[in-house]
Each structure stands twice: as C-alpha cells, then as structure tokens.
Structure 1
Amino acid sequence: MNTTFSTDNRQGSPLVSFIITYHNEPADMLHACIESILALSLGDSEREIIIIDDGSDVSPVSFLTDCIDEVVYVRQRNMGLSQARNRGIDMAHGYFIQFVDADDAIIAPPYEQCLDLVRYQQADLVMFCSSDTSETTFTPVSVSPVSGSHFMRESNIRAAACGYLFARRILGSLRFEPNIYHEDEAFTPQLLLRAERVFNTPYKAYYYRARHDSITRSSDQDTISKRLDDTLTVLTQLYRLTDKLSPADRPAMERRIAQLTMDYLYNTIMLTRSAKKLDATIDALRQQGLFPLPDRPYSKKYTWFRRLVGNAIGRRALLASLPLLPRH
C-alpha cells in the first residue's frame, strides 16, 4: 500500500529537493534531520522535503505533527534504499537534489556555502565532506570549478551520494541499481561524468551518524558475501560502460574502476582472511579483464597495494599483515 501526504501547493520549482530515505530509524532522528533542513536559509518556496518511508514497521508520521506541513511523505512497501531514492528522484521538482539519510542531518553554516555555489556560481554539482559531530567550525574558501571528468582523472572520489548537491537536469535516465549493496559506487561516478561545473569544497556540511547495526559493520557471513558479490557486479557494470565513454571520460572511469578494484581486494582480505577466497576473487577479476591492476601512479597506497597483490608472495604478506577488523 502506498500513501502520500502533501500540503505543498507552491507554484514553480524549488531550488533544492531534499530526499530523505527512512526505514525503521528512531523517529526523533528523522525529526532532527527535518529540523536541520528547515534551519537553512531556504524559504518555503525554495525547498522541497520528500520523505520516502521504505516499508518501516511503524510509520513515523505521528512523531512529525509539528512539521508535517513542511514535507511530502510517501510510504511504500519495503523495496530497499535504491528504489526509495529512485522514487524520490521521480517525485522531485527542485532544480537541485540532496539525498539525506533519516538518521543523519545537514550542518547549516557550511552547507550555506554550498547553497551559495548553486545560487551564484552556476554549479552542476557541489561536493562536501561529512562529520561525526553536528558541531563544526569552518572558514569560507574560494573554489574554482572543474568538469567531473577532470576531477575523476586527478582525484579519488567519495562514493556516498549524500555528499553531493547536484542539478537534477544532469541525471537524465541515471538511477540507482536496485537490490544491491554499495549502490552509490555505481551511481556516483556516472553522476560526476555528467557534470561540467563541479565545485569540490572542504566543508564538513553533513552530520553522519555511524551506527553499529549498519551493513558495513556486520559480521554476518551472508551479508559479507553479498557485499563482496555486489561489489564485483558494480565493477563489471562500470567496466562495460567504459567502451561507451568519450576519450576524455574513459581515463576518468578507468581510475575509479582501479580504485574500486583495489578496495574490493582489500575488503576481501579484511573480511574473509582467506587465501582461497582471495585467489578466487582474483580469478573472477581476471576473467572480467579487471586484474592485474593497471600500472598507474594514482596514489602511493594504490602503487604499494598493486605491487603486493600482483604476486603470490605479496598476497601472503597482505593476508598476514593487514589488521583484523573489529567484530560488532
């Protein structure tokens, strides 16, 4: 059953659509998330807050009575984060889109600087950082735009989609892949390649609450296996996409694929501690044309890791020396 509540009768398009995805998070965190958006300098006609309740056990609406007039609330059967975000995208009217997880929040002072970039600098996409606290100090800086392709050729990107304020028009048909973990890894690089004016800011404008029950902290073996399998799926999809890219965009995507492949191998070691699993992973990557890692000077860490993982002795050293993950 789908239910929609909206008292939004504004004319025209808002500047920003905030898409909040919700699934069984504490209602007080969702309330704080909404309040952090309402605290921004955006007027009523400049913002749109869309809450996609992805089949929570209990609807949070009764906890939002004081701000329900400020939001569009949609409750749908549980279909996962990707489908919830995709529905939010399809509903959004804003010139720009900002994803926010229901248990996180926007940090107003630095985020205002990001808003100024979309207001006055014709930004296609603004990048910012997360913080583990809602309190932050910052100094405004001057940031020059580059294309998303240029940025990806020169820098490692952060995958989390919540770290980007971007123009809705650059999306086109791009949506999140359903039913996989690490959906941001597939979405974000494609989004960046569509942006011509990217502003990479140092502002810690997003309050991220690390939760002990998150997927990335799970020690459940089925969850770990799905995480690793889904990463390979994303890698394969991005690799196949490179043939369709322009000569300028292809090196940018190749760098991202190499970085993600390194992360995949690193996580295989850290999460399984198994030489057999590591060898099987390398065989799977080799079959897809993703191994050995390309000899590129992307970063010192990449160069170091590529050399070690490229031979049997180095792989044994990695299995023995990398620290064990804490179990939660």
Structure 2
Amino acid sequence: MSTQPIYTQDDEKKPLVSFIITYYNESVDMLKECVNSILSLSLNAAERQIIVVDDGSDVSPIDLLIELSSDIIYVRQPNLGLSRARNRGIGIAEGSFIQFVDADDYLLTNTYEQCLDIIRYRETDMVLFQATSSPTSTPHSEADGPMSGTDYMAHHNLRGSACGYVFRKAILHDLRFREGTLHEDEEFTPQLMLRAENVYSTEGKAYHYRVRKDSITHKTDKRWRMRRLMDAEQVIYRLKNKADHLPVSERIAMERRIAQLTMDYIYNVIRITHDATHLDRVLQRLTKHDLFPLPDKHYTKKYQCFRMLVNTAMGRRILMLALRVKG
C-alpha cells in the first residue's frame, strides 16, 4: 500500500467523507453515540462532514445536541421516509465519499479505520465491510481487491444494506433511493455496485447495529409485513427489467442478485403467511416474469438446496411444514 494519500487538487478542498445519519424518534443518547463514533475516527474537522437528517421526529432533538452543534449539519424535514431522508443527505453531501449510518447504530472506530486507510491510499470506488451486534470488533489485516463491482456481484452474495459500505460520491450520477417504498436498499445497492470500477471487501466488522423490537424491520403487524412482502416483489421486478437491458457481464451479475432476492422473497412468503394458496399465486406471478422456477445455478449450497425444494410441489410442502414449526 502506498504511504502517500491519494488526493487530487479538488479533493483537498472538500471533506474526505460525508456521513449521512438518518434520524426518526430514536433516543437522543443513541444519536449522540452515533455522532461520537464518527468524531473518534482519525479524520480532522476538514476531512469529515456529519449530516443528521431528521425525518420529521415527533420532537426535534436539536436542543439536546448543543454540544455537537459545531460538528454536525442538522436538517429537519416532514416525515417523508428513509429514502427521502437519505436523498436529502446526498444533496447536501460535499465529501468525496459517502457513508450512511442509522441513528440508532454506530461505527466501530478501530475497524472502520481500515476502510479509511483504503480510501486514502488506494484507488477505490467502494469499500465493503461487515456489521455486527457486538459492541467490539477486531480489525482484519487485509482486504480483498480491487475488483469491479460487476465481478464482485457475479461471484458473491451481496449484502443489500446501504450502511454496509463507504462509496465514492462521483459514481452515483443520477442514482437515488426510490421514495415511497420499502426495501429501498435492495434496489439501490446492486445498481450502485455495477457503477463501481474498484471495489475492496473486508471481513472486518466496522458497523454496530442494535437489535430493537420496535425497529421497522422487526414490526410484527400483519398488514405491515404484507406490505414489506409486496414491496420486495416489486423491487425484484424492477431489477429484472433493468437486467434485461444491461450488457452481458452486468446482466449475469444482476441475475445472481435477483435470484438471491427471489429466493429470500419466497422463503419469507412461506414463513410469514403459512398459506399454500397465497404462495401459489406468488409463484404464478413470478413465473410470468421468468423468475420461477429458480434458475439452475450453483451460487451457494443454500441456494441449490432451496431451489431443489421450492421448484417441486412436494418440496414446497416440506418447506411449508418446516417453517411453520420453526415459526
């Protein structure tokens, strides 16, 4: 690795990283911990930009953030959803790179430093890292790469979370999060990945997430869960439509991601509904879009096993029974 940072003259005039923190009714103490995890990094004030986008919380936390006021940009908007909040942050971001962070999570400083070293000293568009619910982590000495985002996605299962990587803002172009829908990360991340020419991947656990029963992903209301399923299906269709118009290598990479998402979607339909009739209707719709039966690919052992089961009526009955018991 070079010992000299890779900066252009223009880069020196703007922050290295813009951290976009999305906030909605979380504990202010959690938000402070999130901000302080960024302030603990080896970035001086000129190298970082911390943007807190408040998505219409019931009570603005601004009066409780006085001690951080010189370190953050606070923006409040009506409650328009996570996608709009992130897009608002992108519009404000001045850094060469962007990192999304949820307000109830935080960065694990010693491990995230490796990501900073990569964007400082190597030509890179994106650095992927791991997340953990543990409050501590151990840095890994090396990262895999560089490789194109297309090559990475063609050979690896992609983690969809937009908080799981730091990326060069310039590769965004006109790409933004789709507003008014759920599963926005699953649609955004693979499209961003295809735009990255130099990707590094580390097994270092640099992002701490809290498991909260009241979070969006843990809502148990049936109507909410059914909406998540419907939105997930629409994401798959939109990605399939985009894949049909991509160059061959990019299409192959996107098809792997689509197959993974389709597998996950069918699994969740079975797990959440326990309804064979509903599952049949879902599979009929997927068939019309050439998404079912699942393609005969050797992506992972898990994929091959699930495909073997779900592509037959008997296998689907086994899955239905197994997930009902697991339930």
Preserved CA contact (<8 Å) 2:137 2:204: no
Distance 1:70 1:325 in 2: 47
Q: Distance in 1 between matches of 2:148 and 2:71?
A: 35
> Is the Cα–Cα contact under 8 Å of residues 143 and 203 in structure 2 kept in the other structure?
no
Question: Relative to 1, partners in 2 of residues 1:324 and 1:108: Cα closer, same or farther, differing over 3 Å?
Answer: farther
1:271–1:325 Cα contact (<8 Å) kept: no
Give the secondary-structure state (helix, strand or coil) at the position aligned to 2:248. coil
What is the SS of the residue equivalent to 2:244?
A: helix
Q: Which amino acid aligns with 2:127?
A: V
Is the 8 Å Cα contact of residues 55 and 78 (structure 1) preserved in structure 2? yes
CA distance in 2, matches of 1:149, 1:137: 29
| Aligned twin of 1:250 | 251
Is the 8 Å Cα contact of residues 28 and 63 (structure 1) preserved in structure 2? no
Q: Summarize the Cα distance change of 1:156–1:118 in structure 2 as closer, same or farther, 3 Å threshold.
A: same
Q: Give the whole-Å Cα distance in 1 for the aligned partners of 2:268 and 2:139.
A: 33
Within a 5 Å distance, the mapping from 1:155-174 to structure 2 comes to 155-174=156-175
Q: Matches of 1:292 and 1:206 in 2, distance apart?
A: 36
Tell me which residue corresponds to 2:180.
179
Contact 2:133 2:209 in 1 (8 A): yes
Map of 1:147 onto structure 2: 148
CA 1:323–1:202 in 2, change beyond 3 Å: closer, same or farther? farther
| Alignment correspondent of 2:95 | 94
- Within 2, Cα distance between the matches of 1:166 and 1:93? 13
Within 5 A, what are the aligned runs for 1:1-328?
12-322=13-323, 324=325
Distance 2:165 2:272 in 1: 29
Structure 2 contact 140–202 (Cα < 8 Å) conserved: no
8 Å contact 1:215–1:223 — kept in the other structure?
A: no
1-side partners of 2:313 and 2:285: how far apart? 16
Q: Secondary structure at the match of 1:160?
A: coil
Contact 1:15–1:94 (CA under 8 A) maintained in structure 2: yes
Q: Following the alignment from structure 1 to structure 2, what is the Cα–Cα distance between the partners of residues 21 and 139?
A: 28
TM superposition shift of 1:43: 0.6
* Structure 2 CA distance for aligned equivalents of residues 142 and 273 of structure 1: 42
- Alpha carbon RMSD of aligned pairs, Å? 1.2
Residues 297 and 303 in structure 1, CA contact (< 8 A), matched pair in contact too: yes
Q: Which residue matches 1:3? A: none
Cα distance change on mapping 1:270 and 1:242 into 2, 3 Å? same
DSSP 3-state at the match of 1:66:
helix
Residue identity over aligned pairs, in percent, reads 51
Shift of 1:35: 0.4
Instruction: Work out whether residues 23 and 57 of structure 2, in 8 Å CA contact, stay in contact via their aligned partners in 1.
Output: yes
For structure 2, the residue ranges without an aligned partner over 5 or more in a row are 1-11
For the 8 Å contact 1:270–1:324, the answer to whether it is kept is no
Matched letter for residue 122 of structure 1: E
Q: Distance in 2 between matches of 1:215 and 1:72?
A: 25
AA partner of residue 56 (structure 1): S
Aligned-partner SS, 1:290: coil
Deviation readout 1:270-293 (Å, 9 max, x if unpaired): 111111111111011112221111
1-structure distance, mates of 2:236, 2:151: 21
CA distance, structure 2, for counterparts of residue 177 and residue 204 of structure 1: 28
**One-letter code aligned to 1:17:** S
Question: Which residue is equivalent to 2:4?
Answer: none
Question: Please, what TM-score do these two structures have when normalized by structure 2?
Answer: 0.94
Q: In structure 1, what is the Cα distance between the partners aligned to 2:159 and 2:139?
A: 20
In 1: Cα distance, 2:220 partner to 2:77 partner? 29
CA contact 2:140–2:203 (8 Å) conserved in 1:
no
Q: What's the offset of the Cα at 1:144?
A: 2.4
Equivalenced residue count is: 316
